[in-house]
Structure 1
Amino acid sequence: MDATQKDLVIVGGGPAGLSAAIYASRSLLDAVTLEREALGGQVILTSEVDNYPGVPHADGYGLTEAMREQAAGLGADIRMEPVDSLERNAETGRFLVRTPSAAYDAAAVIVSAGAQPRKAGFVGEERYAGHGVSYCATCDGMFYRGKQVFVIGGGNSAAEEALFLTRFASKVTVVVRKDHLRAQASVVSELERSEKVELRLMTSIVELGGGELPSSITFRDNATGETHVETYEEGSFGVFVLVGRVPESGLLRGLVELDESGYAVTDERMATTTPGLFVAGDVRRKPLRQIVTAASDGAVAATSVAAYLGHPVEG
């Protein structure tokens, strides 16, 4: 299979990849953006986005569709193709990107494949994702103002986001499958001091039930194995699954430095230790994973590629 030569291949069509496509087009780069499943990534599962500057009360699909239209209007080449492999020629410094139907010979690559939230695995989790089940407190916490929320997870992220949710929720119940939290002692102490927080140790959620929105939760006592069901008014509560995320960094293994969780390590220009290989969005190590930071990463990465290739960067 003959490889098509490109200045840049962008792997991933979420906010980071679409932002990179916009900036690549404005820099007159011959680029292609490859997305394996659905443009927008995890964002399209979000029913309401209220923290993207200038676009209040947007839905995830509509927001990313606007990004796609903007990129396409600037001439971006966006294709629905999964990437099978990414290789670098040590002699030429160029990259070979293979999909099931094509191959691309690129001078530079931006990987913006994102990260998937780790699922808890209870019955009804997929059914109510985005409609009672959330994976991001900072994204969706305000939608549960005055309501009860249940947080699944016992690590630092779960504990910190549970504290964040006390700003909005009437009550925050932290559900931990073990007999202790793994979070730092200072955070645990803060949780224990909060009048809004209840800790349920040795407990798991095994099922959500209800109609369009959940109205019942089945809990299991992990010490005895016994289960019990609690019922609520439909739509009066939410479940936040905060048991970690899994970065889509498989293509990067052996090419760049990954941290202990599998996230790519970059500098502020989104550059990795491999010349010409840049990483943007949730797949890289960063303190905040939001739509706005992903879009920013994509802009920085594409601008860095333009500078790397000696192309002019439009204002």
Structure 2
Amino acid sequence: MNTTNHYNTIVIGGGPAGLTAGIYLSRAKLRTLIVNEGPVGGQMVLTHEIANYPGVESISGYQLASIMKKQAKAFGCAIRSNILISDVELKGETKQVTLSDGSSYTSDSVILATGGRSRTLGVSGEDTFKGKGISYCATCDGDFFTGKEIIVLGGGNSALEEAVSLTKYASKVNIVHQFDHFQAFEHAVEEARNNPRIDFILESSITGFYGDEKLESVDIKNLKTGDMTRFKTDGVFIFIGYMPNTEFVKDKVELSQWGEIIVKPNLSTNIEGVYAAGDSIAKRYRQVATAVGDGTIAALSASAYLHELKTKKQLTTA
């Protein structure tokens, strides 16, 4: 075994869950490596404002991610980001993670904190106009639509909260949602309904995107009557949920029918020494605060497992 590349725990994913796990494990003097395929922070960095994180009145997702990263590194956590994972081996006492540059790392335990990604609508023209009028990130692209009329598709917390945020730029925001009610928290619904720049197109969905070099219009279908309307718009922001980033472990740990990692109360998976946390696990609520809680539980559970493992080895060699 290459001891230089061996860790007590490898955390796969550098969002709030993964960073929290890294903080707890490193602070407990456990050799820890966080591996992340994108920039550190995950989906959190795309959030313009986080105002419901306990103890913090208001902060951007990017700022919060930067603080968490700094904390983890200060405790000695190693971080590798913006690199692809080629393969993982989770069974057995020694786990292994291989990266796209050919480097390989081993560990006694693994925490899967792979997060999720924006769910796409999957209709005609969506791929064509991604980045040309279609966006999945209000923080990234809101400023491009200053003074313009746009659409927000979705009815959950993200859709309504980002719709309100986008009114800082857009002259008008039309929320298109497939149901006659919203799945968001009541305060988010009220804030959107009380905003004079927001209109609602309910029981409807977008069935196509059209334009020349950039998006110019969409087809909106009334799901109750079947009527179709060609609707002119300068942009569409799609917030219809996230898909868990679990494809690379689909044959390695137990997943739900939706691809979420199934965990026990201590966030252990069906594989000994492997834990999971954050948006990739099967759970109801997905917030930064819940991801942080998951990361904490997974780290403490992994720590307990590592302690038991060390004790067993000492008894065996005694």
TM-score (norm 2): 0.73
* Secondary structure of 2:66 counterpart: helix
The code of the aligned residue for 2:218 comes to: F
State the match for 2:183 in structure 1: 160
State the match for 1:119 in structure 2: 120
Q: Tell me whether 1:276 sits opposite 2:297 in the alignment.
A: no
The superposition leaves residues 54-98 of structure 1 with CA deviations (integer Å, 9 ceiling, x where unpaired) of: 2222111111000011111111111123221111344xx221111
**Once the two structures are aligned, what percentage of the paired residues are identical?**
28
* Secondary structure of 1:169 counterpart: helix
The superposition leaves residues 181-202 of structure 1 with CA deviations (integer Å, 9 ceiling, x where unpaired) of: xxxxxxxxxxxxxxx8642536
State the match for 2:14 in structure 1: 13
State the match for 2:94 in structure 1: 94
Aligned-partner Cα distance in 2 for 1:217–1:51: 36
The 1:286–1:7 alpha-carbon spacing in structure 2 relative to 1, beyond 3 Å, is same
Q: Tell me whether 1:294 sits opposite 2:291 in the alignment.
A: yes
Structure 1: which 5+ residue stretches go unaligned? 173-195, 209-215, 232-237
> Are 1:31 and 1:77, in contact at CA under 8 Å, matched by a contact in 2?
yes
State the match for 1:74 in structure 2: 75
RMSD over aligned Cα atoms: 3.5
* Secondary structure of 2:105 counterpart: strand
> Are 1:219 and 1:227, in contact at CA under 8 Å, matched by a contact in 2?
yes
Aligned-partner Cα distance in 2 for 1:145–1:228: 22
The 1:230–1:141 alpha-carbon spacing in structure 2 relative to 1, beyond 3 Å, is closer
The superposition leaves residues 110-130 of structure 1 with CA deviations (integer Å, 9 ceiling, x where unpaired) of: 010101011333731238633
The 1:308–1:17 alpha-carbon spacing in structure 2 relative to 1, beyond 3 Å, is same
Aligned-partner Cα distance in 2 for 1:129–1:40: 16
Please show how residues 227-306 of structure 1 align to structure 2 within 5 Å: 227-229=230-232, 241-306=238-303
The superposition leaves residues 201-239 of structure 1 with CA deviations (integer Å, 9 ceiling, x where unpaired) of: 36447379xxxxxxx9733145687623268xxxxxx96
Report the number of matched residues: 273
Shift of 1:282: 0.3
State the match for 2:149 in structure 1: none
Shift of 1:245: 1.9
* Secondary structure of 1:160 counterpart: coil
The 1:171–1:217 alpha-carbon spacing in structure 2 relative to 1, beyond 3 Å, is farther
Aligned-partner Cα distance in 2 for 1:307–1:202: 48
The code of the aligned residue for 2:193 comes to: S
The code of the aligned residue for 1:42 comes to: Q
State the match for 2:138 in structure 1: 129
Aligned-partner Cα distance in 2 for 1:296–1:280: 9
> Are 2:182 and 2:189, in contact at CA under 8 Å, matched by a contact in 1?
no
The 1:205–1:65 alpha-carbon spacing in structure 2 relative to 1, beyond 3 Å, is farther
Aligned-partner Cα distance in 1 for 2:74–2:304: 23
Aligned-partner Cα distance in 2 for 1:51–1:137: 16
> Are 1:23 and 1:303, in contact at CA under 8 Å, matched by a contact in 2?
yes
199-208 or 19-28, which moves further after superposition?
A: 199-208
Aligned-partner Cα distance in 1 for 2:166–2:116: 30
The 1:135–1:61 alpha-carbon spacing in structure 2 relative to 1, beyond 3 Å, is farther
Q: 1:170 aligns with which of 187, 193, 212?
A: 193
Aligned-partner Cα distance in 2 for 1:134–1:291: 22
Aligned-partner Cα distance in 2 for 1:9–1:18: 12
The code of the aligned residue for 1:129 comes to: A
The 1:65–1:221 alpha-carbon spacing in structure 2 relative to 1, beyond 3 Å, is closer
44-53 or 283-292, which moves further after superposition?
A: 44-53
Shift of 1:136: 8.3
State the match for 1:84 in structure 2: 86
* Secondary structure of 1:69 counterpart: helix
TM-score (norm 1): 0.74
Aligned-partner Cα distance in 1 for 2:228–2:17: 44
> Are 2:160 and 2:189, in contact at CA under 8 Å, matched by a contact in 1?
no
